[in-house]
Each structure stands twice: as structure tokens, then as C-alpha cells.
């Protein structure tokens, strides 16, 4: 059985079905078997584990997942790909393709219905660049029973998510993601291994989902509000950003007192604060709002 992810086989499949790429869906199909095998390896799969794939395309990654995992459920938005997937994945009865939008599908229900009996579930996907962050945050915010999330994305976004405090890549997305999971870049993927070729290189980001967050917070919504506010204008200090977004001028002294009590200098910028400091700050602000 020929692998899907070769230039020749991919072109054969596309020609057979007269498939044309939709730029609006960010479709770029992988044509490198070694990279697909490394993605599967990063996900740490075996026959006792299940996988949710997002955007299977013509099934190049899906078949490698199917060879490694006990069950694979792939959610595909583009209806034109459904008959192609039915054909290419026919040898794998433990693969199910669902037509839907991953941002709208009831994920809790899907996992409960499709993965009964599987304790360890991972998400593995080659994500369209234009919806990478919304998909990732949805997967994390819904507190799904996931072991790993292994996703291909624009290298620049992977750098931002995995960045440590103090660098120019570190921002709100870094801190919020790291509240839910430990990120690491598994590999860099050149743009030349896709059809059609994107303009930039990609990276495979592995997120090992925490059993419980690494910091304790009174109010998670407040934590994320503080993180977003702190990066609202990167050049501004933590004091100025929090005063503008949360406190207002009339509570200037209250904010200064909170920063002093939490050991955070008002002149610092958001990019210098780690997750533990954001948690300490948001917990103190939550306490202030409960007992002013």
C-alpha cells in the first residue's frame, strides 16, 4: 500500500478527484513521510491510545496516526474532501471522519461518544495558519481529557507560544497557553515539503497538558484579564497598562499598593513577568475586588 504523503501519490489523488485548493481554508498538504512519522512519534501513541485529528486533508497524516493508535477521529471542514478521505482511508476501519468545524463541534460530546474506553487521548493536527490560536485556545479552555496536543503551525506562532519571559516573542499567548500545558518545539518544518508551498516555514509544537495548572489562581478569568491587559501596549509599563485596562485613574493608589504587596515594580513591562507573578498579581486583584 503506497503512502499518501509522496509528491507523486498526492498529485495522483488530487487529479483523480479534480481537487483545487481553497486559499481561504489555508490548505497545505504535507508530502514528506519522515516528517509525518516524527509527528506521530512526538504524540507518543500506541494501540491503547486515541487521537483527534483536525483537518485531515486527503489523509496523509491520518494514515500514519491510524497505524500507531487504537482509534482516530478526524474532523474535516471542507465537504469536497469527504469522498477522497473515504477512498484513501478505506484500509483503516478504526478511523472515523466527521464533517464539521472544529470551532463549533461539541468537543466534550464528541470525546465521550467516540473515545469510550480510551483513557489517553491526544490531538494531532496540521492546523491552518489563520485559525491556529483560536483552535488551540478552545482545545485548552474546554478542559478536555487530553494527554498531548501535537500541532503543526507557523513557526513564528510556535516560537511565541513556547517563549520564556523576557524575550520579544513572549506575550499573552505564551502565558495563557503555559497555564494549561508545557510547550516545546518538536521540529522545524521547511515550507518546501507542502503542496502548495506556504510562504513561511512551520514548526511542530508539542503541548503536554498539565493534570493541574502549575499555579493556583482564585479566578482564572481574572488571571487572563490581567495577562491580556499587561500586553495591551507592549512598550508601556505594567502599571500604565493595568491602570488603563482594569483600574482607571481614580484607583491609582490602590494599584500601586497591590504592585508593592506582590513585589512587582510598577515600571516593569508585561514581558518580564512569569506565570507565577501573573497569578500572584491576579489573586491580589481578585481579593481587592471582593473586599475593597
Residue ranges of the annotated binding site are 28, 30, 55, 76, 101, 126
Task: Map grid coordinates 500601586 to a residue.
Answer: 256
Residues in Cβ contact with 89 at an 8 Å cutoff, skipping those fewer than 6 apart? 59, 62, 63, 66, 95, 97
- Binding residue numbers for S-adenosyl-L-methionine: 28, 30, 55, 76, 101, 126
Task: Map grid coordinates 491510545 to a residue.
Answer: 49
92 to 63, 213, 246, 250: CA distances (angstroms): 8, 37, 53, 64
Spacing of C-alpha 59 from chain mean position: 20
| 182-221 burial: b if 16+ Cβ within 10 Å, else e | ebeebbebeeebbbeeeeeebbbbbbbbeeeeebebebee
- Round to whole Å and give the CA distance between 156 and 203: 8
Give yes or no for a contact between 285 and 246, defined as CB atoms under 8 angstroms apart.
yes
Amino acid at each position: 500500500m503506497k503512502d499518501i504523503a509522496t509528491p507523486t501519490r498526492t498529485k495522483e489523488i488530487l487529479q483523480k478527484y479534480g481537487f483545487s485548493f481553497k486559499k481561504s481554508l489555508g490548505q497545505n498538504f504535507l508530502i514528506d513521510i519522515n516528517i509525518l512519522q516524527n509527528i506521530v512519534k512526538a504524540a507518543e501513541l500506541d494501540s491503547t491510545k486515541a487521537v483527534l485529528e483536525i483537518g485531515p486533508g486527503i489523509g496523509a497524516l491520518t494514515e500514519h496516526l491510524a497505524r500507531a493508535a487504537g482509534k482516530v477521529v478526524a474532523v474535516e471542514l471542507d465537504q469536497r474532501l469527504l469522498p477522497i478521505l473515504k477512498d484513501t482511508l478505506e484500509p483503516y476501519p478504526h478511523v472515523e471522519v466527521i464533517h464539521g468545524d472544529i470551532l463549533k463541534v461539541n468537543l466534550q460530546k464528541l470525546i465521550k461518544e467516540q473515545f469510550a474506553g480510551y483513557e489517553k487521548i491526544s490531538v494531532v493536527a496540521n492546523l491552518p495558519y489563520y485559525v491556529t490560536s483560536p483552535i488551540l485556545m478552545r482545545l485548552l479552555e474546554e478542559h478536555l481529557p487530553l494527554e498531548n496536543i501535537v500541532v503543526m503551525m507557523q513557526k513564528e506562532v510556535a516560537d511565541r507560544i513556547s517563549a520564556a519571559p523576557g524575550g520579544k516573542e513572549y506575550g499573552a499567548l505564551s502565558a495563557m497557553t503555559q497555564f494549561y500545558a508545557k510547550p516545546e518545539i518538536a521540529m522545524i518544518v521547511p515550507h518546501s515539503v507542502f503542496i502548495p508551498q506556504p510562504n513561511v516555514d512551520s514548526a511542530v509544537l508539542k503541548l503536554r497538558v498539565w493534570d493541574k495548572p502549575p499555579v493556583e489562581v482564585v479566578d482564572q478569568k481574572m488571571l487572563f484579564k490581567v495577562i491580556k491587559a499587561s500586553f495591551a501596549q507592549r512598550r508601556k509599563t505594567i502599571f500604565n497598562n493595568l491602570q488603563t485596562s482594569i483600574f482607571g485613574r481614580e484607583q491609582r493608589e490602590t494599584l500601586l499598593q497591590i504592585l508593592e504587596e506582590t513585589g512587582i515594580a510598577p515600571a516593569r513591562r508585561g514581558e518580564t513577568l512569569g506565570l507565577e507573578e501573573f497569578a500572584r498579581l491576579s489573586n491580589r486583584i481578585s481579593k481587592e475586588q471582593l473586599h475593597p
